[in-house]
Amino acid sequence: MKKLKLIMIILIILIILLIIVAITGYYILKYLYPQEYKEYVEKYSKMYGVEEELVYAMIKEESNFNQEANSHKSAIGLMQLVQETADEVGLELGLENVNLQDPETNIRIGTKYLSDLIEKYDGNVKFAIIAYNAGIGNVDKWIDTKVLDEDGSNMEEVPFKETNMYLRKVLRTYEIYKKLY
């Protein structure tokens, strides 16, 4: 009888602990995958037809929400844009003197650029993500030379290891954002 009571108490404690872990786990994930700069992400995602969760995933993986981030390849800001690309997109948007460390400007241009890539690749988000990292020229070459299938079914064949890992990280983070928000 005492053993049965002890087992019941242990089971109740374990159930309570599991509930606590489940609840706090959700909040920990929301902390690790925040929705910083929400007003800009919402505004420009809607304006350029890109899912908010994808924009958040790109920002998370590119800069981890550090607006002052700079890469060894001269990429700047939240969405890690190179100035040349930002200037081209900015010109298209009627912007002059693009400041990539300004969060709104960076998110606007990065989201527009991502939208352009998604459109260029006929809605194929994976190709857009790869091109965002490796460049349009490389993706076009890989499609033309049949390294990548036109339908995007063999994305694991991306020749650049860094880009291959980048694609996987962005897609994983994208899925987490879709489940969390």
Residues annotated as catalytic (active site), given as ranges:
62
Sign of CA dihedral 136, 141, 143, 144: positive
Dihedral pair phi/psi, residue 26, rounded to 5°: -60, -45
On whether the CB atoms of residues 114 and 55 are closer than 8 A, the answer is: yes
- DSSP of 7-61, one letter per residue? HHHHHHHHHHHHHHHHHHHHHHHHHHS--TTHHHHHHHHHHHT--HHHHHHHHHH
